[in-house]
Amino acid sequence: MRDGRGTGRGHAVVAGAGIGGLLAARVLSEHFERVSVIERDALPEDGVPRRGVPQSHHAHGMLSKGFEVLQDLFPGLREDLVARGALVRDVQSDVNWFNDGRRLRREPSQLPCLMVGRPGLERYLRSRVAALPGVEIHQRTEILEPLADPAGRVTGVRLLRVNAEPEVLDADLVVDATGRSNRGATWLRALGYEAAPEERVDSGLVYVSREYRRRPGDADADAFVVGASADAPRGGVALSGEGDRWLVTLFGMNGDVPPVDPEGYHRFAQRLAVPDLHRLLERLEPLTAPRLMRSPVSIRRRYERLARFPEGYLVIADALCQFNPTYGQGMTVAACEAAALRECLAEESAAPLAQRFFRRAARITDVAWDMSVGGDLRFPFVEGRRTPRVRLLNRYVARIHRAAEADPTVGRAFLAVANLEEPPQRLMAPAMLARVLRPRSAPARSTASAAPAAPATGVHPAERAAS
């Protein structure tokens, strides 16, 4: 792999020092002599959530594919994070999955997942990016607008530092990684271009998170994922993490909101489709009060459909597409887009960089967007076009969940697709169709006991291997 040293293309500016911006900066450092990351927030040194990322208080998922990309971009990342308390686990054998109230059968899958808090991951990536030659991270600085020459090519940005006058920073490439709060439409119109067409889906999601102390023997798994279903439009996630803690997020839809008082929070967990997560909470010692977050509408901005787009300008990560967070796709999609940008920069092509990148990013986004939006459209209160294809796929996914109770091969295939390791067509292969559609007797629902099925080991084999 490349060592991160620029190859002399000049100066790149990245707007935003979140996960997407840091990954973009890492890739750009291979091709530009200088990379400036501009962030309006003060960046904490202790790994606490920063103001501009309020979702940092809640559970985040780094899917298997995203973890793979991170390790490629940052050699030694796995060992470093495990040493800091993060966990690396098998996504099937170490996690209790419940989909449509059905427990996916556990078995080793060779699909590793990373369990680490968003603030800790962001702080680690920021330290690695800041150490790259030619890279500077500017905090408490806001980009007011990109600037362009008479031909429409972006040539830099106008920015404002704290207690200073606006200034101009020249650039050969500007990347918008400003996330959910991005001003991309306003910036494009100011440059004389149309805003990208948008697709929107509002699930009415509200989620509430709380931290608990984690001790050996708490549970027979290192994570619990209870998905919402049409019959029970609520769910929850419990993730083991650094600092000997559990991070628990409960979510509801269509006005069925998890309460923020401790007793109400536990009563809401009791109403989930299966009792396992509630029983876990009943055994744990809480460390924080419940914290509420209202999820913004899922928005996909179709930059690949624009006939005109300024040269020297790109958009990436949540500024390109923001997902329903219950599917845990955002950080992994950002990582995959960074990998796609890396490929585009390495190519010898006469086609504009933005055109090539947006087309590749669209193919990445297609898979994640179809899964999350298709899942949202299971709920009758979510507005959206339910095509015959969407209805058929949702019925088929319900059959997959039923089959995965008894057949770990089906479960592994489903998780490989959900983790963006395999294309959705993998679930339609003839051998998989035969497994999914095989007649079965009515399965029993989860009957987990109030006590853990087996003590959780103090040191996981993945941690021993990394130490």
pLDDT attached to residue 53: 61
pLDDT, averaged across the chain: 90
Q: Is 384 helix (H, G, I), strand (E, B) or coil?
A: coil
Cα–Cα distance between 322 and 330 in angstroms, integer? Answer: 7
- Average pLDDT for 254-279: 96
Integer angstrom CA distances of residue 304 from 198, 300, 331, 430: 11, 11, 21, 33
Cα–Cα distance between 304 and 51 in angstroms, integer? Answer: 31
Token code pair at residue 323: 């997902």
More confident residue, 441 or 307: 307
Comparing C-alpha atoms, which of 125, 140, 142, 138 is closest to residue 26? 125
- Contact of 66 with 420, CB cutoff 8 Å: yes
Cα–Cα distance between 48 and 169 in angstroms, integer? Answer: 30
1-43 tens-digit pLDDT: 333 344 458 999 999 999 999 999 999 999 999 999 999 998 8
Comparing C-alpha atoms, which of 16, 46, 41, 14 is closest to residue 124? 46
pTM of the model: 0.90
- Average pLDDT for 216-235: 93
**How many other C-beta atoms lie within 10 A of the C-beta of residue 183?**
16
Token code pair at residue 60: 């985040």
313-315, strands of its sheet edge to edge = 135-138, 34-38, 11-15, 173-176, 313-315
139-164 tens-digit pLDDT: 999 999 999 999 999 999 999 999 89
Cα–Cα distance between 337 and 333 in angstroms, integer? Answer: 6
Integer angstrom CA distances of residue 415 from 107, 403, 406, 408: 12, 13, 15, 10
| pLDDT band at 296; cut points 50, 70, 90 | confident
355-409 tens-digit pLDDT: 999 999 999 999 999 999 999 999 999 998 888 988 999 999 999 999 999 999 9
- Average pLDDT for 305-316: 97
| pLDDT band at 448; cut points 50, 70, 90 | very low
331-342 tens-digit pLDDT: 999 999 999 999
pLDDT at 275 over 70: yes
Integer angstrom CA distances of residue 345 from 158, 251, 284, 340, 357: 25, 40, 49, 9, 9
- Average pLDDT for 43-65: 72
Residue holding tokens 């009415």?
Answer: 204
Cα–Cα distance between 344 and 40 in angstroms, integer? Answer: 28
Cα–Cα distance between 326 and 228 in angstroms, integer? Answer: 9
What whole-number percentage of the chain has pLDDT above 70? 90
- Average pLDDT for 64-92: 97
pLDDT attached to residue 54: 57
pLDDT at 467 over 60: no
The DSSP bridge partners found for residue 158 are 145, 168
| pLDDT band at 243; cut points 50, 70, 90 | confident
425-444 tens-digit pLDDT: 999 999 999 999 998 765 54
pLDDT attached to residue 75: 98
CA–centroid distance for 112 within its chain: 15
| Residue 458 CB-density burial (10 A; 0-12 exposed, 13-18 middle, 19+ buried) | exposed
pLDDT at 94 over 90: yes
CA–centroid distance for 219 within its chain: 25
Cα–Cα distance between 422 and 371 in angstroms, integer? Answer: 13
pLDDT at 255 over 60: yes
Can you spell out the DSSP letters for 117-136? -HHHHHHHHHHHHHTSTTEE
Cα–Cα distance between 171 and 129 in angstroms, integer? Answer: 19
